[in-house]
Amino acid sequence: MKKVIVLGGTGFVGTQVCTLLALQGWKVSLALRHVDRAAHMRSLPGLSPLVLDVHDEVALARALAGHDAAVNLVAILHGTQAAFEQVHVALVHKLARALRAAGVPRLVHVSAIGADAQDPGSAPSMYLRSKGAGEAALLQAAALQPSALQLTILRPSVIFGAADKFLNVFARLQEVLPVVPLAGAQARFQPVWVHDVATAVARSLQPVHEAASRGNPARIIEACGPEVFTLRELVQLAGQLHGIRAGRGRPVFGLPDWLARLQATLMQLSPGEPVMSRDNLDSMKVDNVASGTLPGLTALGIEPSALQPIAAQYLRRGSSASPG
């Protein structure tokens, strides 16, 4: 039985990845700070919680030893420049060195659409700049040891599914707001189903795809769905599918840039994780859609799933929220 270690595997995407890999027969080591974070996955066959500070490079290399592959899902969406650098750049440098020290030959790294490994500094937000810098570090490591490390970078657009904090948030907001004032209303997205992303991770670890990438130690896959929406359209659709106003949803009003930044500033100051930050707005200055110049999910034999039939099942009020 092959062994894989998953970093950042307890969240929305990670739960799907670990579940799929375990059901496919992988022995999954789930790296986490506190064992209770994996309580919802205790019943998965072959899954072992591994208490680990992933930022401790020595401990990370020790934990990686004996594994056939690694998956890195560690990421943050909000934070300071220092926080983005620590999670998306410094950690990735440590991971690259630890993989080499432990002799682990395969890595799947989940990045983001809009990241640019060739010119990370050109991105408009701290999030995207740090994502691009992290990719650059891994691509350099793969180029330095092409026979020792096979690398797949997945760049998903916004990810949807039953436990998402995207469509669900906009649907619930419309339960209490008479209208939705929306920053970045014209930003474009190509939403991808969380199960398709998890499948892409699993497929990237399969021998047939390892063989396909041999001779080219690194490849980048744009993990996007089949449709492009503006943010306004997605918010409207969330309200409609949630049954707000008998399926009509709330009116959505796009905000001018100055007011959008004010709204994002106020959201950042409120308790808890913000719905939107100023850095999120900066990220939306570039389209969150596939470039078309890189392979997509079909290169992994995955037909991307349309959003509406799936979202309708979990956004409908009173639904059991079953699909992903």
Q: pLDDT at position 214, please? A: 52
215 and 257 assigned to the same domain: no
Q: Is 323 part of a structural domain of the chain?
A: no
Cβ-contact 100, 57 below 8 angstroms: no
- Which two tokens mark 231? 């943010």
Q: Is 292 part of a structural domain of the chain?
A: no
CATH label of the domain that carries residue 123 = 3.40.50.720
178 and 145 assigned to the same domain: no
Q: pLDDT at position 210, please? A: 52
Q: Which long-range contacts (CB under 8 A, 24 or more apart) does 47-52 make?
A: 47/18, 47/22, 50/5
* Residue range 246-286, pLDDT digits in tens: 999 999 999 999 999 998 988 887 777 888 899 999 999 99
3-class DSSP assignment, residue 320: coil
Q: Residue 276: name the closest of 288, 289, 287, 261 by CA.
A: 261
Contacts of 202 (CB under 8 A, 6+ apart): 17, 20, 21, 24
39 and 52 assigned to the same domain: yes
Of all residues in the chain, what percent carry a pLDDT higher than 70? Answer: 94
How many domains does the structure of the chain reveal?
2
134 and 249 assigned to the same domain: no
Cβ-contact 164, 323 below 8 angstroms: no
Q: Residue 300: name the closest of 111, 147, 117, 152 by CA.
A: 152
What average pLDDT does the segment 154-160 reach?
Answer: 98
What residues make up the domain containing 114? 3-160+191-223
105 and 174 assigned to the same domain: no
Query: For residues 77 and 89, what is the distance between their CA atoms, to the nearest angstrom?
Result: 14
Q: pLDDT at position 320, please? A: 47
